[in-house]
Amino acid sequence: MTKSVEEFDAVIIGAGFAGLYTLYRLRELGLRCRVFEAGEGVGGAWYWNRYPGARCDSESYFYCYSFSDEILQEWTWSEKFPAQPEIERYLNFVADRLDLRKDIKVASRVTSAIYDDAALRWTVSTQAGDKVTTRYLVTAIGGLTATAPNLPDIDGLETFEGRWYHTGHWPRQGVDFTGKRVGVIGTGSTGIQAIPVIAQQASELTVFQRTPAYIMPARNAPLAPHEVAEIKGRYPEIWRKAKAHRGGQPYDPPTLAFADVDECEARRLQEEYWQRGGLRVVQLFNDVYSNPQSRAFTEAFFREKVRQIVKDPATAEILEPKGYPIGAKRIALDSQYYETFNLPHVHVVDARSKPIRRVTPAGIRAGDRDYPLDIIVFATGYDAVTGPFRAIDIRGRDGIALADRLAEGPRAYLGMSFAGFPNLFAVSGPCNPALSTNVPVSIEHDVEWIADAIAHCEANGVRAMEPTEEAEDAWTEDTQARIAGTIFEQADSWQFGSNVPGKPRRFLLWLGGLTEFRERCGAVARAGYEGFRLTR
C-alpha cells in the first residue's frame, strides 16, 4: 500500500527568526502550515552558530521581533549585546509563547522542492524521509548558514591528525581547548569574537590573518533593571525609528560632516564614541564613506588605536587595518580582541605575505614555516546568500533548477521571488537588503509583505503568482547598478561572493536601504502586484 502524501497550504523551510514569524503570520491567515528545520531545535543561524564567543553585533533590545507587545514586555534581555545561548533561548521562548512547535518538524533537512506545473503545487522532500505537497513554499533559510559554509580547499586537510571545526557548524557539546595548540584561520566578525575566548583555554594560539578587519570595541555590559524598564517603556518610539532608518536601527542618522569641526574636536568626538563602544563609532561623521578626508581621518584613528593597545609593534603592524576603505568589508565589534595579542601564548601570522600552503599531519605550513597544531578552527565564513539556495534541489516550471539560475550570480525580484518559480517566496533572498541591516527588522518586513501577497492570492482566486522575467531582470540589474562608485567595489568580501573561489563577483545585497525597499515593495503591492504574473 502506498503511503499517502500529506498536503499543506504552506511549507516553510527553516525555523529561525524568519521561519518562526512566517509560520505565525501564515497560520493567522488560516493556512495549514508545516515548517521543516534541519537542526534539532529552533533557532536557525542561532542554533548552529554556537562557536566560542558567538554574540550579536546589534543591541539586544532591537535585535528581536517588534510585532508582539506581549513578547516585548515578557522577555528580558540580560546583556547589551546578547550571546548565542540567550538568542537561542529567546527564539525557543517565542516558539512556545506562540504555540508554534506543533507545526514544526525539526531534524528534517529539506533536500528538494519540485514544482508540478499541472497541479500548481510543490512537492517537498526531506532527508528524514518526509514527502509532502504544498501550494505555497516559503524559504526562510538565511544567507549566512551552516548549510553553505566556506571551507577553503587547502591541500592536506584530510591528512591532519588533530581535529578541525568550522565555526558555522559547531558541536553542541562544545570543544575543550584546554592545553591544546590551536590555529584559527579567518579574522572576520566570527574569528574576532572567537579568538579571545579560545585564547583563555588554549596553551598556544596561532591566528592566520589574511586581511585585517576594522574593529570597534563592543563594550558589552549587563543591562540593569532600570535600563530594561526604560527600554520597555519606549518600544513604540524605538520601532518607529528603526523602521524609518535605512539600516533598521533605532538611531538618528548622523548630521555632522567632517568639515563641521576642526581636527582637535574631531579627535575628541571620535575618542568619546570609541569609549562608548558599539557600531556607532563609525557613524560619527555623515560623510565617512563619501569624503576621502573624513575617511582617511577615521581610518587613521582606528590604526592608531591598534598601535596603542597592541604592545609589540610588529604584531600591531600586522593587525592594523589597511589595504581597503573602512566599511568596504563588514566592520566588526570586539571584546578584548586586540588585547588578546598581548598574551605571550597568542601569535598572529600574516597569511597575506606568508600564505597558508597546506595542512600537514601535524599542523599548518604557512610561508616557509610549520606551525604544529592540535586543533584547527575555520572561521572562514560562508558561501553567502545564494549558497543556501543552491544547497537544496529547487525546481520550478519546466524543471528549471534554481541552483543553475543562481550559479551565474544573484537574481530575484524584490529580493523575495524568482521568475519560473510560482508561489515560491524567499524571506531575505538574493538582491535583498536584509544582510546589510539589523536583520530582524528586515525579516519582519519581508514576512509581512509575503503574507499580504498570499492573502491577496487567497482572496482573489489567484492560484499562482510569479514575477515576470522582465521584472526580475530589472531588479537584478538595479542591485548591481547601486554598487557602482561605492566603496564596496574596492574590497573582496562575502557580499560580493568573492570569498568563494569560482563564485561570480556579483553583489548579493540590494543597497537601497530598508526605507526605500519598504516603499518599493509597498508600491508593487498597491499596484496589484506589479511585475508579477497572476494565474487565476
In the complex, the residues that contact ligand N01 under the rule CB under 6 A are: 56-57, 144, 152, 185-191, 208, 210-211, 330, 351, 356, 379-382, 492, 494, 499
In terms of CB distance, is 56 or 132 closer to ligand N01?
56
**Three cell numbers at 435?**
544582510
Q: Which amino acid is at 324?
A: Y
* Residues 21, 18: Cα–Cα separation, whole Å: 6
CA 321 from chain center: how many Å?
Answer: 22
Residue 60 CB, shortest distance to ligand N01, in Å, is: 11
Q: Are 407 and 32 in contact (CB under 8 A)?
A: no
Burial of 448 (0-12, 13-18, 19+ CB in 10 A): middle
Residue 149 CB, shortest distance to ligand N01, in Å, is: 9
In terms of CB distance, is 54 or 419 closer to ligand N01?
54
Burial of 101 (0-12, 13-18, 19+ CB in 10 A): middle
Residue 299 to residues 129, 210, 212, 401: CA-CA distances in angstroms? 53, 19, 12, 44
Residue 66 CB, shortest distance to ligand N01, in Å, is: 17
Residue 91 CB, shortest distance to ligand N01, in Å, is: 14
In terms of CB distance, is 57 or 446 closer to ligand N01?
57
In terms of CB distance, is 44 or 467 closer to ligand N01?
44
Q: Which amino acid is at 142?
A: G
Q: Is the dihedral of CA 44, 45, 51, 54 positive or negative?
A: negative
Burial of 139 (0-12, 13-18, 19+ CB in 10 A): buried
In terms of CB distance, is 30 or 501 closer to ligand N01?
501
In terms of CB distance, is 147 or 423 closer to ligand N01?
147
* Residues 188, 112: Cα–Cα separation, whole Å: 32
Pairing of β 131-139 and β 121-126: antiparallel
Q: 3-state class of 113 per DSSP?
A: strand
In terms of CB distance, is 382 or 413 closer to ligand N01?
382
Residue 196 to residues 315, 345, 394: CA-CA distances in angstroms? 16, 12, 40
In terms of CB distance, is 338 or 382 closer to ligand N01?
382
Residue 195 CB, shortest distance to ligand N01, in Å, is: 11
Q: Are 395 and 114 in contact (CB under 8 A)?
A: yes
Q: Which residue is nearest to ligand N01 (CB)?
A: 188
Pairing of β 356-360 and β 215-217: unpaired
Residue 356 CB, shortest distance to ligand N01, in Å, is: 5
**Three cell numbers at 213?**
578587519
Residue 294 CB, shortest distance to ligand N01, in Å, is: 23
In terms of CB distance, is 52 or 422 closer to ligand N01?
52
* Residues 393, 35: Cα–Cα separation, whole Å: 17
Residue 298 CB, shortest distance to ligand N01, in Å, is: 19
Residue 145 CB, shortest distance to ligand N01, in Å, is: 10
Residue 203 CB, shortest distance to ligand N01, in Å, is: 23
In terms of CB distance, is 177 or 496 closer to ligand N01?
496
* Residues 144, 6: Cα–Cα separation, whole Å: 31
Q: Which of 430, 398, 419 is nearest to 533 (CA)?
A: 419
241-254 burial, b if ≥16 CB within 10 A, otherwise e?
bbbebbbbbbbeee
Residue 211 CB, shortest distance to ligand N01, in Å, is: 3
Pairing of β 181-185 and β 375-378: parallel
In terms of CB distance, is 137 or 443 closer to ligand N01?
443
